Amino acid sequence: MSIISQHFKESAASILDNAHLESQIEAAAKHIYASFEAGGKLLICGNGGSAADAQHLSSELLNRYKRERRELPGIALTTDGSTLTSIGNDYDYSQVFSKQVSALGRPGDVLLVITTSGNSANIARAVEVAHEKSVTVVALNGKAGGKLSPILGSDDIDIIVKGDVTARIQEVHGLIIHCICELIDIYELD
């Protein structure tokens, strides 16, 4: 079997192994959409490839996914290089997202964090500040949930993708993001 065939086979198996997340994904989409309907916004963050996923989701909401609909306020906290580097330099990298959540988050908003391990200090700190601001959290998590899962509240949604390979978890996160976008399109247009 070629390396390419093996990647496709492993990716397909990982996707099918996580199909049990359907109800959690639907709950996350409903919660995010309810926030939009109430005048709230979605703040999104992650590191590395998860930062790219945050930006991807933001663009699908601010512009459109598959259908023409109103612009929706999805804000990637990963895109402002000046803000990220000033917070990292003046304070600590663990605060690059939490300071933005503190400034931008309002009760009724949603913070969507994306992490393949659940162990990033800056993600955990953003969640703590979100709770202080009465911002609900949706976590696209991975592996066994890491340090993130225990700090999530009962109103939060923890979508833990099973697996040990970061690339496979990221692929499933991408699929979940597209499912959320599709559901939001349906809610908006129905």
To the question of whether residue 56 is assigned a binding role by annotation, the answer is: yes
To the question of whether residue 100 is assigned a binding role by annotation, the answer is: no
β-sheet with 42-46: strand ranges across: 74-76, 42-46, 110-114, 136-142, 157-161
How far is Cα 182 from Cα 16, in angstroms, rounded to an integer? 19
To the question of whether residue 63 is assigned a binding role by annotation, the answer is: no
On whether the CB atoms of residues 137 and 166 are closer than 8 A, the answer is: no
Q: Which of 114, 146, 151 is nearest to 131 (CA)?
A: 151
To the question of whether residue 5 is assigned a binding role by annotation, the answer is: no
To the question of whether residue 174 is assigned a binding role by annotation, the answer is: no
To the question of whether residue 60 is assigned a binding role by annotation, the answer is: yes
If one counts every other C-beta atom within 10 angstroms of the C-beta of residue 188, the result is: 16
To the question of whether residue 88 is assigned a binding role by annotation, the answer is: no
What is the longest distance spanned by two Cα atoms in the chain?
52
To the question of whether residue 120 is assigned a binding role by annotation, the answer is: yes
Which phi and psi (to 5°) does residue 80 adopt?
-95, 95
To the question of whether residue 178 is assigned a binding role by annotation, the answer is: yes
Which phi and psi (to 5°) does residue 69 adopt?
-160, 175
Which phi and psi (to 5°) does residue 49 adopt?
-60, -30
Binding residues for Zn(2+) are 56, 60, 170, 178
Binding residues are 47-49, 56, 60, 89-90, 115-117, 120, 170, 178
Binding residues for substrate are 47-49, 60, 89-90, 115-117, 120, 170
